[in-house]
Structure 1
Amino acid sequence: YYLLGKKTSSFYIVAQLQMLMPLLMKTARAYADALSAFKEGQPIGDGIGALVAAKLIHGRPFKRLVKDTIVAEVEIDGRRAYVVKAEGPGAKVGKPGEAVRKLLEELSDEVKAVIFVDATVKLEGEETGEVVDGIGVAIGGPGVEKFKVEEVSLKKEVPFYSILIKEDVEEAISPMKKELVRSADKAVEHIRSLLAEVTEEGDTVIIVGVGNTMGIGQ
């Protein structure tokens, strides 16, 4: 905007830069905070899904399922749950789509539901850390991992559910706020409520914690 405005001597082009500057500065500060977080190995907002999965796995044995992705078998309210997350505490996102596809193929028709836990973008007036329920595959990015899951879901006819934690784009790449840390426990309760609603005791489910697991172990 500045160079084009200077070249054309157009006040209106420069005025656009002035109007956008607060948003640009907000984004720039977020990236500066992100550099600090990655340097120190601190959890970031995008890792909230991985944090929820880590809370479910904590203290239980796990194994590597696919590249940079682990799975642990956990009992939750009488249900056998396979909890999937990226292998921490390094800055990895893993391959959740490939992991879920492999589990669905191995477990055949045993799986009654797949639950994804991930961050979602909030509106400006919404509160950080609000937990909401949804339907479908909650995996961000270009869509490759999501396609892997959706492809096999059509064959297996397994319903997909989502537990989403709201945050803005800047919070996703900045050190994790206390509101997000607290929301992890709320997300676990949402998972329990959802399991009670859509499954029965003895059923098998898959729970996927999506996101960058930097600073978050197993």
Structure 2
Amino acid sequence: MRNFNELTEPEILALAISLEEEDERIFADFAHGLRESFPGSAAVFEQMRTEESSHRRRLQNLYQQKFGEHIPLIRRQDVKGFVERRPVWLRRPLSLKAARSAASSIEQETGQFYERAAARTSDASIRRLLDDLAQEERSHQNKAEELTESARGKGAGGREKEAQRKLFLLQIVQPGLAGLMDGSVSTLAPVFAAAFATHSTHAAFLVGLAAS
């Protein structure tokens, strides 16, 4: 494993290409995992995937102009200082909140990488591209919020909230009630689940009565 400060300019670009490719695939996984229940948010992640793909192509073009056709595979796990990411395929079922939180962390980390990389680069064209990408990554979070509102719309937003509520009932409340019936969970579990799902003390009270 190498220290970031030991990387050469070709290695910095190669690492950046690998990071963008990974981010692109993560956002594609988010879009795929959310498309059925949250189509508006899935469209946002698809747009983010497209942007990461554009970043990767710009980096590849510059690398090949400067250093030739072959681009070595340098991954985040090969360099010290990167945050360990939980694989998307382990996030099943994928929640909308988890996807958005992960996307925010990805954008922040990648933006910081470009800022550090630009500061270590002496080549003007490489530094200019890295500075541009740092700026674009910093704006991604705000842009993602804007894309979410425009893609979802008022009606779509309501449908996504309803879908999220139904998923919670199916994934948390229903298993809790089933576990209560066979004695595998505490009677408090469905009470807490009902309170969280409905935000209603009356509903939680009724569930508590049924569970007692």
TM bucket (normalised to shorter chain) is under 0.3
- TM-score normalised by L of structure 2: 0.27
- TM-score normalised by L of structure 1: 0.26
Of Structure 1 and Structure 2, which has the larger fraction of its residues in strand?
A: 1
Q: Which has the larger radius of gyration?
A: 2
Of Structure 1 and Structure 2, which has the larger fraction of its residues in helix?
A: 2
